[in-house]
Amino acid sequence: MTDIALEMPWLQNAWQDVQKRFAEDRLPHALLLTGECGVGKRAWADAVVGLLLCASPAVNTVSGKSVACGECRQCQLLAASSHPDVRVYSPEKSRMIKIDQIRSLSAFAVSSPQVSARKVAIIDRADQLNINSANALLKTLEEPVADFVLLLLQESGRPVLPTIRSRCQVLSIPLPSGDQAGQWLASKVAELEDDKQPTAELMAKSLMLAGNAPRLAFQYATGEFPGLRDEAFDKFRQFMKGQITVSEAAKAFKALGLEDMLWLFEGWAADLARLCAGGKANDHEAEEMIGFLAGINPAWRAHELLDLVREARAAGVYNVNPELEASRLLIAWRGLMPSRRRAS
């Protein structure tokens, strides 16, 4: 009977909104939840699914809100990931949600529930619908079924078609405060075996790199990203100073993988825009170098870099070469340096 808003307080507004609609029997047929990568959108969606399907919702004694009981047959099926009235659709190998997946969703929407009073589907990364699958989804949105609820999850900054957005009730999840994110990360790390727990320094760095998105920070703190990122940043500085070739620098970024590489470049470009506007960088370790570039370049150069990242991400659907994409982005960054530094 855990209340997701107690575990993740920054989800509270979106969670209470659903609970209120559920209690008043006016839940919309489609909810679009937006938020940064790693902020807890999927945890929210799973909690909503549990509440909607539970046969005997209980009241959490701390929050006083209705939550899934965790004991009925519906909850047991959900816990075993075998509930027949739940479907989850997410990007496949092409990094996109394909039209065949949406056709499957449409058939599921109009079918009869097997063991519950309703059916629920999650589209995890609705911003990764290709144009054909997005258009196919419109029919399901335009012809709602009384016993079907659709939850769409969208990463901030990744657009969905306006025609889809306009047919959904939209909720947003904010980033947690530094204290909230730190407390959540510490609690998750404490569940690990002693020899697998990251250091406090690594946890702090992971939170910084993740922009306080706690679930992403946990992934970083228990994975290889921080070390690979440090190697890439070191090569980035050397390349910007003309000390190594673009090929040498690009190899370090390739090691990150395309998505993490683009996430890193996107974060630095966003920091450049912040610093140009008089703000502060999220990546404190890169702030000195990016601050130097902000002092000698107009703000629109940062937006050019962000556009290049978006182009690279879109091209990723077609299995582009990550090393070539890294080279292209590195050369664009090098173009921000004074001409004497670019002479090599």
Task: Give pairs for 90-93: CB < 8 Å, separation 24+.
Answer: 90/123, 90/124, 90/125, 90/128, 91/125, 91/128
The per-residue pLDDT for 108 is 96
According to DSSP, residue 153 is labeled E
d(CA 225, CA 233): 12
Question: Which pLDDT tens digit goes with each residue over 185-226?
Answer: 999 999 999 889 999 999 999 999 999 999 999 999 999 999
Tens digits of residue pLDDT in 12-45? 999 999 988 988 888 899 999 999 999 999 999 9
Q: Is the pLDDT of residue 309 over 90?
A: yes
What pLDDT is attached to residue 344?
43
Residue 318: the pLDDT is 67
pLDDT band at 6 (very low <50, low <70, confident <90, very high): confident
Arithmetic mean of pLDDT, 52-67: 83
- The yes-or-no verdict on residue 184 having pLDDT over 80 is yes
pLDDT tens track for 95-142: 789 999 999 999 999 999 999 999 999 999 999 998 899 999 998 999
- pLDDT of amino acid 93: 72
Residue labelled with tokens 């982005």: 329
253 has a pLDDT exceeding 90? yes
Dihedral sign of CA atoms 237, 241, 243, 248 in order: positive
- In sign, the C-alpha dihedral spanning 39, 41, 47, 48 is positive
Q: What is the pLDDT of residues 272-291, one digit of tens each?
A: 999 999 999 999 999 999 99
**Can you give the pLDDT at residue 181?**
96
As a whole number of angstroms, the distance between CA 11 and CA 45 comes to 11
CA distance 260 to 269: 14
- What are phi and psi for residue 257, nearest 5 degrees? 90, 150
Q: Tell how strand 148-155 and strand 169-172 pair up.
A: unpaired
**Position of tokens 């058939």?**
107
166 has pLDDT over 50: yes
CA–CA distance, 188 with 181 (Å, rounded to integer): 11
